[in-house]
Structure 1
Amino acid sequence: MSDVAQQQERRAGGADDPLDTVRLASLVATARTPERAVVSPVDGTVVGEVPVCTPEDVVAAGTRAVSAQRAWAARPVRERAAVVRRFAALVLDEQTWLMDLATAESGKTRRDAFEEVADIALAARWFAGAAPRVLRRRRVAGAFPVATRTTVHRRPKGLVGVISPWNYPLTLAVSDAIPALLAGNGIVLKPDSQTPFCALALLDLLRRAGLPADLMQVVTGPGAELGGAIVDTVDALMFTGSTATGRVLAEQCGRRLISFSGELGGKNAMLVLPGAELERAVEGAVRACFANTGQLCVSMERLYVADAIYDTFVPAFVERVAALRHGTGWDGEVGTLTTAGQLDRVAEHVREAVAKGATVLTGGVPRPGHGELGYAPTVLTGVTDDMALAREETFGPVVSVYRVGDTEEAVSRADDSPYGLNASIWGPAAVARRAASRLHVGTVNVNEGYTAAWASHAAPMGGTRDSGLGRRHGREGLLAWTEPQTVAEQRLVPAGYLPGVPPERYARWITAFARLLHRVPVR
């Protein structure tokens, strides 16, 4: 019996639908009946069937969400935050079910599935605590002291669209929906077709926590058919996925003049500098490269190792990679790839690199005995810029290792990429911090791979250049789903020319007033 089947049986005690997929499918925002099967990448079994929505379903879902949004936005922020806190508690209570779904739909290990559960609970807690403070109205300096009272309010965008990917089907379904809901918005969420039940399970928990029934709608179906309808329906869009698709969606949003945020592709670099602690760096690199079977936007695909440590680091790293345990249970360190298309991409990148002269130090072959879409964790050297593996995102358990002379060369080569999402630097903290300041990326982890920056929910997270625009997490992740509105109240005297005062005299007064203000520090 597969790990997935064992997990399902433990939870359900032999129930016919252990993952509750029949009930979850009923939450999809459609009145139509065509369905498609969701097949597990672990063993080829059918996880469940979901309706296939149409563009008309998207419009109808948006209409329902907008109707509910008006009443939701009128509720105090603290009431909205209370719903999110209850949701966070339910996520922890229902973690076994959620992990079962994540493994069944995406083929990830138990430890990677739990990482999603923990991230949701901790992020929801931070956003719920921060929202009343970040979203409250704020007094700012008016045009004229005493006479002008100016206040900045944060109004919700209205309806936010979220298009989420298959690699982190729990976390990325709600990472942006939660702050958008706290800001007073309605949501239309389209999860990837491979992982709809994770999103539906989270919708179920949000409604159980007290979210109004119509406020958040989930539509399922092909992105190519529904993406345009979502853009045409919402007031702002968050997309997580490839750079190519992000460009298309951003252009569509631009034509409508609505907000677009996107966390897109990456070809992230890890720098191992002189003075790095060998054992910590090896373990950190293994996790940074192969967590979630390398299907992680912020994982490392390029390793630049300083000459002074290369001959000790690389053999130790390769030995540890070769020993990684395959499987989806708690003892598994590497699961399966999620889609056949992704397996093909990984295999082709490696095949082309080897054909052009790269050397495989370990891996480089499928592992069909470890899941239908298994691929051995792979380390290569001799990868050159004319290979797709050097420049394009692979998004799998593959990493290229490069020898560099010193920190200067490591920084220069790491930054030689059209992408700018995440980086990891291992070495003395002061040296690493200086190197970090020169990298054109959205996040940098010092003596850690990706978790430190991602899990710092109070700090913004996102990419530069071809890795996207906008930020999730932090104040920025809340304010992104609001429109600032300035309300300025003029009292006592007019703000413009004064009745009965010659314009020339008024201009002299304002000039003197402006010169006086130049001597006063701006707060």
Structure 2
Amino acid sequence: MSEQTSIPADPELDPTASYATDQSVIRRLSGLLRATAGTRTTYAPATGQPIADLPLSSPDDVLTAVRTARKTQASWKRVPLDERAAILLRYHDLVLDHRHELVDLVIRESGKARKQAFEEVAHVALTARYYGRKAHELLDPQRKLGMFPVLTRAEQRFVPKGVVGIISPWNYPLSMAMADGLPAVLAGNTVVHKPDSQTPLTALRAIELLYDAGLPREAWIPVNGEGATVGGAIIQNTDYICFTGSTKTGRLVAQQAAERLIGFSLELGGKNPMLVLRDADVARAAEGAVRACFASAGQLCVSMERLYVADQVYDAFVTAFVARVNKLKLSAGTGWDVDMGSLISKAQLETVTRHVEDAKAKGAVVLTGGKARPEIGPLFYEPTVLSGVTPAMECFDNETFGPVVSLYRFSDESEAIQRANEGEYGLNASVYTRDTRRGRAIAAQLVAGTVNVNEGYAATFGSIDTPMGGMRTSGVGRRQGVEGIRRYVDPQAIATQRLLPIAASHGLSDQAYAEVMTGALRVLKKLGRA
């Protein structure tokens, strides 16, 4: 990648990184944890430098946290909905007011570029505002059709589950830490939360701001540690589980939750396709594809890993796309001019390297990229574009979760749709075309929980009124929208019968009652009753 622009790592030159390295801040945030099981050092992936020695939680700490949260939930659910909603609206403002320090923490812990870190701030603010404004619409009791007009009054209420366990990932340490829990507490639940042990400080600062907005500390309790121990204890003790991570781990979470007969929602893996149709604006599609493939170094559940490009624009698109990729700036710095940051861990770097080397060995062509960049930072890998990828290659249908994308040419749109729908996943997809009506029609044929037309992922990600989640092995349940809050409540039906019982009465025999009921049902149908 000879034309690739890189910036030497020197975070000390950027004063915006100061908040994330302030030891007094780190000590204060550490104090929010329920943790008595020793400490663990976290490291900045972009530089390899230590960040903090943070306390670890034990299963007993989790159990204590759940008991505290359960006690608090009994009173929290009785707090008027307007007051709970007001906390979220205040939180919206606090997140925006403290955006710089939140972004600093995201960069420090995850290694991503500043522009992508800011996406997380915006998403959390959007989520808080949406649910704060929509609280009554989503949670107020609803009148329903009773069995008989006038005689039967029916309504539906929404009863909070209790204590919600949230296990959030490292790749979006702010957004995924908070966006799932905000509707949970609005609905009257309390939360016990395990952020990923690689990126806990970002979540802790975001939780601290939620306390500042007025949420009782016992209503959202953070714990810290490995998923197998701390995460397992959360699954075994809470009333509902929200998990974001790999499909492999998601299956284990689902099994454990099923054994306890508790509900769960899972956002899991993806091998997301983008279709560039014959009438696409090539420049716009190339620009969008760069963001969709390489934001957060490709470590985004909804990022694109497969690009299907129509014959008519293939050559022009590849030229434009590769040229844009070659201009991306890789850096361990924290400024706005950085386009792509670091991978999160040695394990991620090894996966990316293995996928690319396997593809090359089996005949794939590297159009740009294809190697690690240790001179920038220990976990950097170039944004990589491959062609000639076949089913024999590991990256063909396995999620890479890194800055690697494969290009495929197509001549028939129905064939492209079929190829895009192949595989076990169904999380996100994208269609580029000048004819947006046609784009929506094709989007409706794609097996994916979200589909963006003339955008990679941000249009659905930022439209909080729409549900977000996966089909097939990409997940169960949805975040955002009505579905994102109703998962945390049990619907309760209350029906009140007036004047007449729903049974034989007033001297009618059971047989006569059945005939009267038959006639009544026929009349109700003629009147258009459901």
- Amino acid in the other structure paired with 2:320: A
The partner residue of 1:339 within 309, 333, 345 is 345
Is 1:471 the counterpart of 2:481 in the alignment? no
Q: How does 1:242-261 map to 2 (within 5 A)?
A: 242-261=246-265
Q: For residues 221-370 of structure 1, what are the structure 2 equivalents within 5 Å?
A: 221-327=225-331, 328-370=334-376
The aligned residue for residue 391 of structure 2 is: 385
Which whole-Å CA distance do the structure 2 matches of 1:8 and 1:59 have between them? 41
1:142 maps onto 2:142 in alignment: no
Q: Give the gaps of 5 or more residues in structure 1.
A: none
Q: CA deviation at 1:497?
A: 2.1
Give the TM-score normalised by structure 1: 0.97
Number of residue-to-residue matches in the alignment? 520
- Describe the shift of the 1:10–1:333 C-alpha distance in structure 2 as closer, same or farther (beyond 3 A): closer
Aligned residues of 1:131 and 1:478 also touching (Cα < 8 A):
no
Listed one character per residue, the Cα deviations across residues 367-390 of structure 1 (whole Å, up to 9, x for unaligned) are 112222100000000100111101
Is the 8 Å Cα contact of residues 273 and 406 (structure 1) preserved in structure 2?
Answer: no
Find the aligned partners of 1:478 and 1:99 in 2 and give their Cα distance: 26
Alpha-carbon offset, residue 297 of structure 1:
0.4
Alignment of 1:122-133 (within 5 A): 122-133=126-137
Are the equivalent residues in 2 in contact too, given 1:289–1:301 (CA < 8 A)?
yes
AA aligned to 2:336 is W
Q: Does 2:121 align with 1:117?
A: yes
Q: Which amino acid aligns with 1:145?
A: P
Q: What SS does structure 2 have at the residue aligned with 1:202? A: helix
- Which one-letter code corresponds to 2:217 in the other structure? A
Q: CA deviation at 1:172?
A: 0.1
Q: Is the 8 A contact 1:367 1:376 kept in 2?
A: yes
2:511 to 504, 512, 521: 504
Tell me which residue corresponds to 1:444: 451
Report the TM-score, using the length of structure 2 for normalisation. Answer: 0.96
Q: Once the 2 structures are TM-superposed, how far is the Cα of residue 2 of structure 1 from its aligned partner?
A: 4.7
Q: 1:71 is matched by which residue type in structure 2?
A: S
Q: Distance in 2 between matches of 1:89 and 1:6?
A: 29
Q: Secondary structure at the match of 2:243?
A: strand
Work out which of the residue numbers 458, 461, 473 in structure 2 matches 1:454.
461
Given that residues 3 and 329 in structure 1 are in contact (C-alpha distance below 8 angstroms), is that contact kept between their aligned partners in structure 2? Answer: no
Counterpart secondary structure, 1:507: helix
Aligned twin of 1:84: 88
Change over 3 Å in CA distance of 1:376–1:2 after alignment to 2:
closer
Residue pair 1:4, 1:103 contacting (<8 A) in 2 also: no
The whole-number CA distance in structure 2 between the counterparts of 1:371 and 1:293 is: 13
User: Contact 2:21/2:51 (CA < 8 Å) preserved in 1?
Assistant: no
Q: Which runs of 5+ in 2 are unaligned?
A: 1-7
Structure 2: distance between partners of 1:453 and 1:9: 30
Deviation at 1:522, TM superposition (A): 4.0
Change in CA separation of 1:375 and 1:130 when aligned onto 2, cut-off 3 Å: same
- 1:348-395 C-alpha deviation (Å, 9 max, x unpaired): 000111111111010000011222210000000010011110110000
Are residues 16 and 226 of structure 1, via their aligned partners in 2, closer, same or farther at CA, if it must alter by over 3 Å? closer
2:161·2:240 contact (CA, 8 Å) conserved in 1? yes
- Is 1:409 the counterpart of 2:415? The answer is yes
Query: Structure 1 stretch 473-482 or stretch 428-437: which is displaced more?
Result: 428-437
Structure 2 counterpart of 1:165, one-letter code? P
| 1:216 to partner: Cα distance | 0.6
- 2:52, 2:527 → 1: CA distance? 66
Distance 1:247 1:389 in 2: 22
**1:499: how far off?**
4.6
SS state of the match for residue 369, structure 1? coil
Alpha-carbon displacement from aligned partner over 1:17-75 (angstroms, at most 9, x marks no partner): 27x11110110012x15100110011111111211111111110001111111111001
Equivalent residues in 2 for 1:12-91 (5 A)?
A: 17=23, 20-30=25-35, 32=36, 34-91=38-95
